[in-house]
Structure 1
Amino acid sequence: MQIAIASGKGGVGKSSVAASLIYLLKDEYSLIAVDADADAPNLDLLFGVEMWEEEKELIGAKVAKINTSTCIRCGICAERCPYDCIKIVDGNYVVNELTCEGCGVCKLVCPVEGVITLEEVRSGIVRKTTTKYGFPLISAQLDVGRPNSGKLVTEEKEWAKRIMKEKGIEHMIVDSAAGIGCQVIASLGGADVAILVAEPTPASLSDVKRVYKVVQHFREPAYLIINKADLNPSFKGLYEFAEEEGIPIIGEIPYDRAIPKSMVMLKPVVEAFPDSKASIALKEIAEVVKEEILE
């Protein structure tokens, strides 16, 4: 089974919840973890990863290059560039690689053939390790200014599937990125179940509604976890939303200072502070996940 944990909004505790559920399920089930936030991966931090066993480059992006020796300096490319990434530097037209999207407009409008070329560059890396807890972790890191974060996540999941087949691993747990962009779409695509994490605020409600629409697009069953549930007890929007959409709420986690403390220790809170309020709630949620989803 492939379980995607998503939130629609950053900062609601999605990765902390994901790390704790993975930790609580690892002894009873064979599983692989995938950190699908290529912009800002952090599952490796929560599991205390110190080194990667294997890394692969993803070559997929393109950037424009201007041959200054044959350029006639007409400036048409700079005028037509939709991303305004061509500037004059020391009398030459130069492409800013961090903002170039490789669209090819500059090459199309250049009056001199061969002056501007589109060259492939690295989008980022996909990497694998075996955590100190015994389960494999796949992560990715998008290079600065590069597109194709969705392709990185897709490559992560494909690598995870190959490992599952080779080692007979049963389940994949995917920690999605925030928002509803291409990384999240790649995370949710092919998943069997989506677990949504939200906090009791209007902003989180708005964003979890958006990501739920993506879940509906893939026709996946969804469950909801309310994190920091006691911080805003008068806010009932999440409960009303869950009732309207028929989404089961599988747990509520109270605000607990043990969670940021456990992050500093590079451990899931259920390992670092097993008797804390948050850990007790997470253990109850793990039992529901076993009964309602994995079984």
Structure 2
Amino acid sequence: MQVAIASGKGGVGKSTVTASLLYLLKDEYRLVAVDADADAPNLGLLLGVGEWEEERELIGAKVARINAESCVRCGICAERCPYDCIKVIDGDYVVNELTCEGCNVCGLVCPVPGTITLEEVRSGIVRKAMTRYGFPLVSAQLDVGRPESGKLVTKEKEWAKSLMRELGLEHMIVDSAAGIGCQVIASVGGADLTILVAEPTPASLSDVQRVYRVVQHFRQPAHLIINKADLNPGFTALREWAEAEGIPILGEIPYDRAIPESMGMLKPFVEAFPDSKAADAMRAIAERVKEEILG
């Protein structure tokens, strides 16, 4: 199976839950993990990955280039650029590649054909490592100012699928990014189901409802884990929403200082503090995942 783990809102503990779930499932299932947050990948940190065994570049983003020799310095390109990324440096018009979106408006308005062209540049890298727990992790890192984060996630999942075939792996666990953008769509698309992670706050409820609509678009079942469940005891709207939508709640994890401490140790909290309240709750959730999701 391919299981996506999403939250909508950042900072609710999705990656810490994913790392601990992987740790608890590793002895019974042959897994591959995917860190699908190309902007800020951190699953490798939580799993103690120090070095990457292999890296692959994704070339596909486009930026404008201005030929200084044929440029007549009329300034029309700088005036029309919707991203204000063309500046005059030492008398030449130069494109700031970090802010250029490759829209080609400058090339269309330039009066001298061929002076402004679009060239392909690197969007980022996809990388692989074998974790110390015996399962592979595929991650990605988007280059600064580059688009195509969704394509990076797609490349990650393609690599993970090839590893499943080569190594005889059973399940793919995808730790998606926050929000509902390209990365999340690429994470959820093609999955068999999505596990939502939320905390009992109005902001988290609003964002998990948004990402749930993305899950519904792909006609997938969803389950919910409530993290920091005792953080706001008077807030019942999250549970009421899940009940109204028919979303099963896999379990609730209490707020526990063991979790941030385990992050500093670069370990899943169920390994670093197996006797903590959070670890007890996470083990109960893992049992339900085994029974109700992985079968």
Matched, 1:177 2:189: no
Matched, 1:263 2:263: yes
CA distance in 1, matches of 2:44, 2:248: 30
Tell me which residue corresponds to 2:208. 208
Post-superposition offset of 1:215: 0.3
Give the unaligned 5+ runs of structure 1. none
Aligned AA (2:79)? E
Equivalent residue runs for 1:86-235 within 5 Å: 86-235=86-235
How big is each residue's C-alpha offset from its partner over 1:214-242, in whole Å with a ceiling of 9 and x where there is no partner? 00000110000000000100000111110
CA distance in 2, matches of 1:47, 1:225: 21
* Structure 1 range deviating more: 209-218 or 110-119: 110-119
CA distance in 2, matches of 1:24, 1:56: 30
CA distance in 2, matches of 1:214, 1:269: 29
Give TM-score scaled by structure 1 length. Answer: 0.99
Tell me which residue corresponds to 1:47. 47
Post-superposition offset of 1:80: 1.1
CA distance in 1, matches of 2:36, 2:196: 15
Tell me which residue corresponds to 2:29. 29
Post-superposition offset of 1:212: 0.1
Post-superposition offset of 1:19: 0.3
Post-superposition offset of 1:102: 0.5
Post-superposition offset of 1:120: 0.5
Q: Give secondary structure in 1 for the equivalent of 2:122.
A: strand
Q: Give secondary structure in 2 for the equivalent of 1:214.
A: helix
Post-superposition offset of 1:64: 0.3
Q: Give secondary structure in 1 for the equivalent of 2:180.
A: coil
Post-superposition offset of 1:70: 1.5
CA distance in 1, matches of 2:241, 2:158: 34
Superposition RMSD in Å: 0.5
Give TM-score scaled by structure 2 length. Answer: 0.99
Runs of 4+ in 1 over 4 A off after TM superposition: none
Give the unaligned 5+ runs of structure 2. none
Post-superposition offset of 1:258: 0.3
Post-superposition offset of 1:91: 1.5
* Structure 1 range deviating more: 63-72 or 135-144: 63-72
CA distance in 2, matches of 1:166, 1:134: 15
Post-superposition offset of 1:171: 0.1
CA distance in 1, matches of 2:193, 2:290: 13
